[in-house]
């Protein structure tokens, strides 16, 4: 059997003051015809990355409105996750090929996990490439199957995509962040649904300035000095190396600036450990660069504090499926700079709710502009928060899933 993830409780009513009565009422109306339906989410890991953060909220909310919702995690060893990390990078454009032997590893683990699936579901939602082969191996386990893609497939390695297409295209429906991620050859059952953050989670709830400053001080950050912060996995696509280079350009003009690079090490990302070491080496012992992760006792509250305290939040990705850390920063009212890639432009309207950049030099220039003009920073932060509230919070995502279930006849 796959591993069931233990979950806390969420109440939809608690979100009314943030999401608005109309949206909450729409959700309850959609849920009336779905009460008792059995819904299973399947993902690669229960920790690290945006998928798990989304599911820790959305599954309890589904339960709160009457669905019999569950979340299971597939089983895999290092050889499997090495392949799926390579696959993840390849689908986002990395030219490195996946060997026939590696494909055999992928297929074998998917077949094994398919055998471990419980049956009797009304709908199974399979998240990302790692478990994409489940449906092919166990179609009888559920009445409906949905594949949810969280990565940027706008310019994939064509060889890898060709091998994945027979697995993806057989799903009754597929859900994507953006239209441009949908490969040619998939036309039926396509849904476009951006992800969302939980505004009431410890990572995103309101922290007082005093509490945020206190937490930051525990990690050697001086709350009286300007702070740049990027929160993301340690991954070449997130470009923490480029963030350090931008920080160094800013420091030439504002010597007192500090940088916090904050991430979590995910169980399905063996490459992350290697890239963490590269990031530390590039920081070169600079005491004003804090490279922090869950191994330094950095959890949700600490991430909240770093983002809330930051004078500039950054997500300088060079590839990005969506980038929920951008929404997190916007929700906290922080002026935010993001790479002009993937789903980030959905969140940052350049010059209105933040800045979009395409180089180290642009990132440094926009950071200097925000640090030198507090009124501009405040204005962008306020607009960014409202944009996030309207478009990228959990109740909206819950409504979109209910609409999909209704369309499928779940």
Q: Indicate whether 270 pLDDT > 90.
A: no
SS3 call for 171: coil
- On whether the CB atoms of residues 80 and 58 are closer than 8 A, the answer is no
**The domains spanning 3-196+393-408 and 209-391 adopt the same CATH topology:** yes
pLDDT digits (tens, 9 = 90+) for 360-373: 999 999 999 999 99
Q: Where does the pLDDT of residue 266 fall: very low under 50, low under 70, confident under 90, or very high at 90 and above? A: low
pLDDT digits (tens, 9 = 90+) for 315-334: 999 988 898 999 999 999 99
d(CA 209, CA 141): 50
d(CA 336, CA 307): 10
**For range 203-223, the mean pLDDT:** 96
pLDDT digits (tens, 9 = 90+) for 179-198: 999 999 898 899 999 999 99
Helix pair angle (209-218, 300-309), 10° resolution: 110
CATH of domain 209-391: 3.40.50.2000
As given in the structure block, the two tokens for residue 221 are 């950050």
Q: Indicate whether 47 pLDDT > 90.
A: no
pLDDT digits (tens, 9 = 90+) for 275-324: 899 999 999 999 999 999 887 889 999 999 999 999 999 999 998 889 89
**For range 202-211, the mean pLDDT:** 96
What's the pLDDT at 176?
97
Nearest Cα neighbor of 201 from 353, 61, 26 is 61
pTM score, whole prediction: 0.91
Q: Indicate whether 21 pLDDT > 80.
A: yes
N-to-C CA span, the chain:
24
User: Torsion angle, CA of 74/78/80/81, rounded to 10 degrees?
Assistant: 80
User: Torsion angle, CA of 228/241/359/247, rounded to 10 degrees?
Assistant: 30
Q: Where does the pLDDT of residue 267 fall: very low under 50, low under 70, confident under 90, or very high at 90 and above? A: low
| Domain extent listing, the chain | 3-196+393-408, 209-391
Give one DSSP letter per residue of 289-319, joined into a string: EEEE-GGGT--HHHHHHHHHH-SEEEE--SS
Q: Which fold has domain 3-196+393-408?
A: Rossmann fold (3.40.50)
d(CA 410, CA 408): 6
- On whether the CB atoms of residues 12 and 395 are closer than 8 A, the answer is yes
**For range 338-355, the mean pLDDT:** 96
What's the pLDDT at 319?
87
d(CA 36, CA 69): 9
**For range 223-249, the mean pLDDT:** 95
Q: Which residues contact 278 (CB under 8 A, 6 or more apart)?
A: 241
Q: Indicate whether 205 pLDDT > 70.
A: yes
Point out the least confidently predicted range of 47-56, 112-121, 168-177: 47-56
What's the pLDDT at 34?
96
d(CA 386, CA 353): 9
What's the pLDDT at 321?
83
As given in the structure block, the two tokens for residue 184 are 């040619």
């Amino acid at each position: 059997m796959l591993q069931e993830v233990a979950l806390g409780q969420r109440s939809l009513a608690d979100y009314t003051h943030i999401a608005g009565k109309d949206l909450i009422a729409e959700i309850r109306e959609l849920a009336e015809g779905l009460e008792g339906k059995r819904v299973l989410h399947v993902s690669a890991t229960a920790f690290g990355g945006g998928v798990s953060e989304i599911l820790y909220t959305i599954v309890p909310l589904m339960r709160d409105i009457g669905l019999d919702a569950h979340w299971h995690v597939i089983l895999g060893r290092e050889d499997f996750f090495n392949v799926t990390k390579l696959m993840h990078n390849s689908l986002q454009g990395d030219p490195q090929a996946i060997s026939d032997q590696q494909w055999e590893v992928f297929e074998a683990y998917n077949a094994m996990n398919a055998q471990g699936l419980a049956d009797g579901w009304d709908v199974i939602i399979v998240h990302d490439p790692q478990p994409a082969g489940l449906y092919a191996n166990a179609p009888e386990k559920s009445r409906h199957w949905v594949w949810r893609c969280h990565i940027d497939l706008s310019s994939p390695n064509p060889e890898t995509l060709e091998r994945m297409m027979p697995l993806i295209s057989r799903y009754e429906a597929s859900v994507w962040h953006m239209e441009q991620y949908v490969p040619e050859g998939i036309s039926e059952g396509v849904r476009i649904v951006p992800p969302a953050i939980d505004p009431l989670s410890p990572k995103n709830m309101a922290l007082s300035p005093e509490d945020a400053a206190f937490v930051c001080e525990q990690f050697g950050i001086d709350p009286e000095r300007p702070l740049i912060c990027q929160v993301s996995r340690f991954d070449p696509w997130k470009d923490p190396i480029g963030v350090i280079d931008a920080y160094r350009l800013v420091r030439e003009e504002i010597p007192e600036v500090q940088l916090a690079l904050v991430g979590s090490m995910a169980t399905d990302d063996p490459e992350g450990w290697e890239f963490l070491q590269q990031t530390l080496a590039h920081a070169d012992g600079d005491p004003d660069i804090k490279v922090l992760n869950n191994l330094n006792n950095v959890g949700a509250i600490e991430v909240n504090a770093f983002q809330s305290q930051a004078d500039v939040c950054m997500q300088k990705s060079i590839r990005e499926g969506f980038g929920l850390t951008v929404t997190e920063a916007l929700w906290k009212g922080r002026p935010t700079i993001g790479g002009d890639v993937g789903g980030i432009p959905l969140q940052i309207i350049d010059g209105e709710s933040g800045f979009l950049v395409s180089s180290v030099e642009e990132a440094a220039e926009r950071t200097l502009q925000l640090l030198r003009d507090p009124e501009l920073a405040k204005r962008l932060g306020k607009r960014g928060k409202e944009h996030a509230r309207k478009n990228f919070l959990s109740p909206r995502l819950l409504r979109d899933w209910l609409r999909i279930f209704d369309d499928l006849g779940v």
